């Protein structure tokens, strides 16, 4: 089976820094300051989504009503990627297009939960009370805003992307595996074009609660992700969505599409959680994707104490003197969307001529490691 | 045909191990005995209070207990037991030569945890998420964080069975189990590894999960005789019954299986998939995506519709699904479909949701192995608009060489698999 070249023919990004890859890039390069909200969920800062007119990508009000914010962010970013790839109006290509989404789950009805928890305290029969309240107070369609695969479902409904559709779960590593499998399928001829990405809504207390239980959240004024491990570590969640159009070079050339970078190799692993294991895993993945000495690094480092410390030390050994940019410093942690976001930015940096090659890293806050190597798209097939 | 390759020159994918857990029992033997006897695993729910619910029945797996009792822990346990059985049968050893593809229910924190946080917050007035959030920082709750992460079940299964690389946790709603198998097939065809461990698991029958489906009017409300409630393809069908379970399949390139002397139980001949952008819970009225998924699976298998000996139906028992599935099959298989046996395991085990595609894959392969087709039970009032041979109520002996297994899910997910006793020459 002859391996095919995979190129990036579109990218859609929406973060606290704004709409579009350029806005994300400005934040990544430090040209604009990170945007933070310290008050809404104090003491937890979040990077809130920028102001968005969702109607620009999701024209039907009935669709908007059926979605919670995490889905709107994702469907919006997917639409940007389709626009960027020049495919928004190509109904027949979209009906054959594969979709791989990395997703968590959707928002709960916070008010209803609070009322139920308050009532449960006094309830004579707590089980019966819970049933009664859930039956009468939960909005029937809320389930469809919560199911993990319904981001993909909404992309199918709103944008008409209706080929193969898979949703991967598992925090940061879901984003890594989504890109890895999309790349592998295109290389092997199992697909020609794959829309891949994810989204995350940081502005929801249930997510903050989950990560706070793990002791994972940063509760001080903003500091660079590399400076956090020494102060206990932690991440600041960010709202946003990131989608990529990955395509076989021959498919892109056939339709006259421009492309920003080539996806050379994706490698991923999940090592046992032991001191030093993340660093060893990165070293092994680094030799698998084999970047050259001029590679720029776009790191998805979370700020989680040990694993971020290990990542930085490994990068300093593997790529001494390399320029290392951290997406966490630009717009916080998009969780399932962080790896696709890093790739969108790295591809743009390559297209701008900032580097001939880039490596994007992901070391999940709890588990999983992944690397991708991108290079200039105008270089010939391997 | 070069040895161990299919017509498209891809590695042939064999099944060398299977394991299954449902409300009918643990293991292939108990399940097959019950299935072919037409026994139901559906019963009145004992796990949580059923006061005030419209649906009070389910096919929960009540003979397995876990601590703490919650969906991810239960799902992990089903997956581990099914994988143990599959790996033992495959004889492939403790160091699994391939990756894990596992369909897991989309879990989230559950009411006992939420209630504990509310208490820990010390709030005596109206409780809000601000109180829960404050309580989340009190004490060491790292085990709860890990428990409710989406990637945790996969990591634990990987540690236990020695699968390689980055395990994939996935959800395509009610077609998830089939998608896990499809991803494994694709990886073997790409030559990434000689084997794949594919699992679907679901232990998420909790009050809120049931209520969510109930509010969408998806569930049967015929609670009085629980074992009679799941009635796929019947005129009086009124929704599905939630079930639980897990199933695991060891997929292996035929070449690798033969080289190590493994017994081949059957082949995954083809996979087909088509998204549907019509509606979040309903199929396109013309059935085009379902038809396309069935056609794609048959084409990928390198056979024609005439080769299908038996259809293992998605057959949920909702008015919509069974009508659309029947229509799709009639379109692809034509008049012959009226005499091709089709049955729904969900009439007995209920809808095992995330696990269903994998559970039903195991049952499809058992039908091939035993030359026997499990029935669709509770088929007392046929639906005249469904002109199919649903193997009503009683199992039937039949030579089964090729099986089509359908899985359809919310969000426009349609995944079909074709299994065969022999490779397609």
Give per-residue pLDDT as tens, A314-343: 999 999 999 999 999 999 999 999 999 999
Closest chain A residue to the Cα of B217, Cα to Cα: A140
End-to-end Cα separation, chain B, in angstroms? 7
Q: How many CB atoms lie within 10 A of CB B49?
A: 17
The mean pLDDT value for B69-74 works out to: 97
CA distances from B372 to A28, B207, B230, B312, B403 (A): 62, 37, 22, 12, 12
Residue A344 has pLDDT above 70, yes or no: yes
Q: How many CB atoms lie within 10 A of CB B124?
A: 8
Residue B68 has pLDDT above 60, yes or no: yes
CATH of domain B13-108+148-420: 3.40.47.10
What values do phi and psi take at A120, rounded to 5? -60, -30
**Considering only CB atoms, which chain B residues are within 8 Å of A181?**
168, 183
Residue A173 within any structural domain of the chain: yes
User: Beta partners for B11?
Assistant: B5
What values do phi and psi take at A88, rounded to 5? -55, -35
Kindly determine whether residue A135 and residue B214, on different chains, have CB atoms separated by under 8 Å.
yes
With contact defined as beta carbons under 8 Å apart, do B201 and B153 qualify?
Answer: yes
Q: Which of B145, B159, B171 sits opposite A149 (nearest CB)?
A: B171
With contact defined as beta carbons under 8 Å apart, do A237 and A73 qualify?
Answer: no
Q: How high is the pLDDT of residue B3?
A: 83
In whole angstroms, what is the distance from residue A68 CA to residue A10 CA?
25
Q: How high is the pLDDT of residue B1?
A: 47
**Considering only CB atoms, which chain B residues are within 8 Å of A142?**
212
What's the CATH number where A247 sits?
Answer: 3.40.47.10
In whole angstroms, what is the distance from residue B243 CA to residue A319 CA?
52
Q: Which of B107, B108, B136 sits opposite A212 (nearest CB)?
A: B136
| DSSP string of B203-240, one letter each residue | ----HHHHHHHHHTT-B----SSGGGS--TTBTT---B
Residues with Cβ within 8 Å of residue B234, at least 6 apart in sequence: B317, B378, B379, B380, B381, B382, B383
To the nearest 10°, the Cα dihedral for A160, A166, A171, A177?
-110
What values do phi and psi take at B24, rounded to 5? -80, -15
Q: Please write the tens of the pLDDT for every residue from A201-245.
A: 999 999 999 999 999 999 999 999 999 999 999 999 999 999 999
% of chain B at pLDDT higher than 90: 98
Residue A32, class by beta-carbon neighbours within 10 Å (0-12 exposed, 13-18 middle, 19+ buried)?
A: middle
Kindly determine whether residue A108 and residue B108, on different chains, have CB atoms separated by under 8 Å.
yes
- Is B174 in the active site? yes
In whole angstroms, what is the distance from residue A127 CA to residue A107 CA?
23
With contact defined as beta carbons under 8 Å apart, do A101 and A151 qualify?
Answer: yes
The mean pLDDT value for B308-326 works out to: 98
Q: A304 vs chain B: nearest CA distance in angstroms?
A: 13
% of chain B at pLDDT higher than 70: 100
Residues with Cβ within 8 Å of residue B312, at least 6 apart in sequence: B342, B343, B345, B360, B363, B364, B367, B403, B404, B405, B406
Kindly determine whether residue B192 and residue A184, on different chains, have CB atoms separated by under 8 Å.
yes
Q: Which of A144, A211, A368 sits opposite B145 (nearest CB)?
A: A211
Kindly determine whether residue B150 and residue A174, on different chains, have CB atoms separated by under 8 Å.
yes
Q: How high is the pLDDT of residue A211?
A: 98
CA distances from B12 to A181, B9, B242, B248, B404 (A): 20, 9, 35, 19, 17
How many Cβ pairs within 8 Å bridge chains A and B? Answer: 252
The mean pLDDT value for B287-294 works out to: 98
Kindly determine whether residue A171 and residue B149, on different chains, have CB atoms separated by under 8 Å.
yes
Confidence band for A106, pLDDT divided at 50, 70 and 90 = confident
Residue A2 has pLDDT above 70, yes or no: no
Q: How high is the pLDDT of residue A1?
A: 44
Kindly determine whether residue A148 and residue B171, on different chains, have CB atoms separated by under 8 Å.
yes
Residue B287 has pLDDT above 50, yes or no: yes
Q: Suggest the residue from B151, B162, B196, B213 to mutate for an interface test with chain A (most A CBs closer than 10 A).
A: B151
Catalytically annotated residue among B70, B271, B351, B379: B351
Closest chain A residue to the Cα of B53, Cα to Cα: A131
Kindly determine whether residue B150 and residue A44, on different chains, have CB atoms separated by under 8 Å.
no
Confidence band for A379, pLDDT divided at 50, 70 and 90 = low
Tokens of B255: 């070449």
Kindly determine whether residue B413 and residue A118, on different chains, have CB atoms separated by under 8 Å.
no
Q: How high is the pLDDT of residue A272?
A: 87
Kindly determine whether residue B155 and residue A367, on different chains, have CB atoms separated by under 8 Å.
yes
Kindly determine whether residue A169 and residue B412, on different chains, have CB atoms separated by under 8 Å.
no
Q: How high is the pLDDT of residue B107?
A: 85
Residue A310 has pLDDT above 80, yes or no: yes
Mean pLDDT across chain A: 96
Nearest-CA neighbor of A155 among A167, A142, A143?
Answer: A167
**Considering only CB atoms, which chain A residues are within 8 Å of B126?**
114-115, 118
**Considering only CB atoms, which chain B residues are within 8 Å of A94?**
none
Residue A367 has pLDDT above 60, yes or no: yes
Q: Suggest the residue from A162, A176, A202 to mutate for an interface test with chain B (most B CBs closer than 10 A).
A: A162
Kindly determine whether residue A157 and residue B280, on different chains, have CB atoms separated by under 8 Å.
yes
Q: How high is the pLDDT of residue A258?
A: 94
Q: Which of B125, B150, B189 sits opposite A170 (nearest CB)?
A: B150
% of chain A at pLDDT higher than 70: 98
Please give the distance of CA B267 from its chain centroid, rounded to a whole number. 18
With contact defined as beta carbons under 8 Å apart, do A282 and A369 qualify?
Answer: yes
Tokens of A132: 């009664």
Question: How crowded is the C-beta side of A119, counted as CA atoms within 13 Å?
Answer: 18
Q: Suggest the residue from A82, A169, A191, A202 to mutate for an interface test with chain B (most B CBs closer than 10 A).
A: A169
Q: A31 vs chain B: nearest CA distance in angstroms?
A: 34
Catalytically annotated residue among B174, B198, B271, B416: B174
Confidence band for B421, pLDDT divided at 50, 70 and 90 = very high
The mean pLDDT value for B231-250 works out to: 98
Three-state helix/strand/coil letters over A16-33? CCEECHHHHHHHHCCCCC
Kindly determine whether residue A181 and residue B168, on different chains, have CB atoms separated by under 8 Å.
yes
Q: Please write the tens of the pLDDT for every residue from B54-66.
A: 999 999 999 999 9
Q: Which of A158, A166, A269 sits opposite B170 (nearest CB)?
A: A166
Q: Please write the tens of the pLDDT for every residue from B332-386.
A: 999 999 999 999 999 999 999 999 999 999 999 999 999 999 999 999 999 999 9
Q: Which of A121, A125, A213 sits opposite B142 (nearest CB)?
A: A213
Please give the distance of CA B329 from its chain centroid, rounded to a whole number. 20
Q: B410 vs chain A: nearest CA distance in angstroms?
A: 8
- Is B351 in the active site? yes
The mean pLDDT value for B261-273 works out to: 98
Confidence band for A382, pLDDT divided at 50, 70 and 90 = very low
The mean pLDDT value for B215-219 works out to: 97
| Strand positions, DSSP E, B114-160 | none
With contact defined as beta carbons under 8 Å apart, do A53 and A21 qualify?
Answer: no
Question: How crowded is the C-beta side of B22, counted as CA atoms within 13 Å?
Answer: 41
Residue A199 within any structural domain of the chain: yes
**Considering only CB atoms, which chain B residues are within 8 Å of A195?**
none
Domain count for chain A: 1
Closest chain A residue to the Cα of B131, Cα to Cα: A114
The mean pLDDT value for B299-318 works out to: 98
In whole angstroms, what is the distance from residue B318 CA to residue B136 CA?
41
Q: B335 vs chain A: nearest CA distance in angstroms?
A: 28
Nearest-CA neighbor of B284 among B333, B324, B238, B317?
Answer: B324
Residue A131 within any structural domain of the chain: no
In whole angstroms, what is the distance from residue A96 CA to residue A194 CA?
9
Kindly determine whether residue A173 and residue B179, on different chains, have CB atoms separated by under 8 Å.
no
Q: Domain limits of chain B?
A: 13-108+148-420, 112-145
Residue A227, class by beta-carbon neighbours within 10 Å (0-12 exposed, 13-18 middle, 19+ buried)?
A: exposed
With contact defined as beta carbons under 8 Å apart, do B23 and B245 qualify?
Answer: yes
The mean pLDDT value for B243-259 works out to: 98
Domain residues for A69? 6-106+147-376
């Amino acid at each position: 089976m002859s391996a095919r070249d995979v190129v990036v023919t579109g990218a859609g990004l929406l973060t606290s820094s704004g709409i579009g890859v350029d806005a994300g890039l400005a934040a990544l390069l430090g040209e604009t300051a990170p945007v933070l909200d310290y008050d809404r969920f104090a003491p937890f800062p979040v990077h809130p989504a920028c102001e968005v007119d969702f109607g620009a990508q999701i024209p039907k009000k009935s669709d908007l009503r059926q979605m919670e914010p995490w889905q709107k962010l994702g469907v919006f970013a997917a639409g940007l990627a389709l626009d960027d790839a020049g495919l928004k109006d190509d109904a027949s290509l979209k009906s054959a297009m594969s979709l791989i989404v990395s997703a968590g789950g959707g928002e709960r009805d916070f008010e209803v939960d609070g009322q139920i928890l308050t009532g449960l305290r006094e309830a004579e029969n707590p089980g019966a009370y819970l049933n009664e309240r859930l039956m009468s107070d939960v909005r029937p369609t809320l389930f469809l805003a919560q199911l993990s695969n319904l981001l993909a479902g909404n992309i199918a409904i709103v944008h008409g992307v209706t080929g193969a559709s898979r949703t991967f779960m598992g925090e940061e590593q879901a984003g890594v595996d989504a890109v890895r499998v999309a790349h592998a399928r295109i290389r092997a001829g199992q697909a020609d074009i794959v829309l891949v990405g994810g989204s995350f809504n940081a502005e929801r207390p249930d997510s903050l609660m989950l990560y706070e239980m793990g002791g994972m959240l940063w509760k001080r004024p903003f500091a660079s992700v590399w400076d956090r491990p020494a102060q206990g570590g932690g991440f600041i969640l960010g709202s946003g969505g990131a989608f990529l159009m990955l395509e076989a070079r021959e498919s892109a050339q056939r339709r006259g599409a421009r492309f920003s970078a080539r996806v050379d190799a994706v490698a991923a692993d999940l090592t046992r959680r032991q001191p030093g294991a993340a660093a060893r895993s990165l070293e092994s993945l680094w030799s698998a994707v084999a970047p050259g000495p001029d590679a720029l690094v776009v790191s998805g480092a979370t700020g989680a104490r040990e694993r971020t410390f290990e990542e930085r030390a490994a990068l300093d050994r593997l790529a001494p003197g390399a320029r290392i940019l951290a997406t966490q410093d630009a717009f916080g942690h998009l969780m399932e969307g962080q790896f696709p976001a890093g790739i969108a930015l790295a591809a743009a940096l390559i297209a701008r001529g900032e580097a001939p090659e880039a490596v994007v890293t992901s070391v999940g806050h709890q588990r999983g490691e992944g690397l991708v190597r991108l290079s200039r798209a105008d270089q010939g097939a391997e | 045909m070069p040895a161990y390759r299919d017509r498209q020159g891809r590695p042939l994918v064999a099944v060398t191990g299977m394991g299954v857990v449902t409300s009918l029992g643990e293991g292939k033997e108990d399940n097959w005995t019950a299935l072919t006897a037409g026994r139901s695993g559906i019963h009145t729910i004992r796990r949580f209070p059923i006061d005030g619910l419209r649906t009070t029945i389910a096919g929960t797996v009540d003979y397995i207990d876990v601590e703490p009792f919650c969906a991810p822990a239960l799902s992990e346990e089903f997956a581990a037991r099914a994988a143990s059985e599959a790996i033992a049968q495959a004889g492939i050893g403790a160091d699994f030569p391939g990756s894990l593809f596992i369909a897991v229910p989309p879990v989230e924190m559950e009411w006992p945890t939420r209630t504990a946080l509310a208490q820990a917050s010390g709030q005596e007035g109206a409780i809000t998420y601000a109180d829960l959030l404050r309580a989340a920082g009190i004490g060491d709750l790292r085990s709860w964080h890990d428990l409710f992460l989406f990637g945790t079940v996969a990591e634990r299964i990987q540690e236990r069975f020695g699968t390689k690389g980055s395990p994939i946790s996935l959800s395509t709603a009610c077609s998830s189990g089939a998608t896990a198998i499809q991803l494994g097939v694709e990886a073997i065809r790409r030559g990434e590894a000689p084997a794949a461990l594919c699992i679907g698991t679901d232990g998420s029958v909790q009050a809120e999960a049931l209520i969510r489906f109930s509010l969408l009017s998806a569930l049967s409300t015929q609670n009085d005789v629980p074992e009679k409630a799941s009635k796929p393809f019947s005129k009086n069908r009124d929704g599905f019954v939630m079930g639980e379970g897990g199933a695991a399949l060891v997929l292996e390139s035929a070449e690798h299986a033969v080289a190590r002397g493994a017994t081949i139980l059957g082949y995954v001949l083809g996979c087909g998939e088509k998204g549907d952008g019509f509606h979040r819970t309903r199929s396109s009225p013309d059935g085009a995506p379902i038809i396309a998924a069935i056609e794609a699976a048959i084409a990928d298998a390198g056979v024609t519709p005439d080769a299908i000996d038996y259809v293992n139906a998605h057959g949920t028992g909702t008015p919509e699904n069974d009508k659309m599935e029947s229509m799709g099959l009639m379109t692809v298989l034509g008049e012959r479909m009226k005499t091709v046996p089709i049955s729904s395991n969900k009439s007995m085990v209920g809808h095992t949701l995330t696990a269903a595609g994998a559970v039903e894959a195991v049952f499809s392969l058992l039908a091939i192995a035993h030359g026997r087709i499990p029935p669709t039970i509770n088929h007392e009032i046929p639906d005249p608009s469904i002109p199919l041979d649903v193997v009503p109520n009683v199992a039937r002996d039949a030579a089964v060489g090729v099986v089509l297994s359908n899985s359809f899910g919310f969000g426009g997910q349609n995944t079909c698999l074709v299994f065969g006793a022999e490779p397609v020459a």
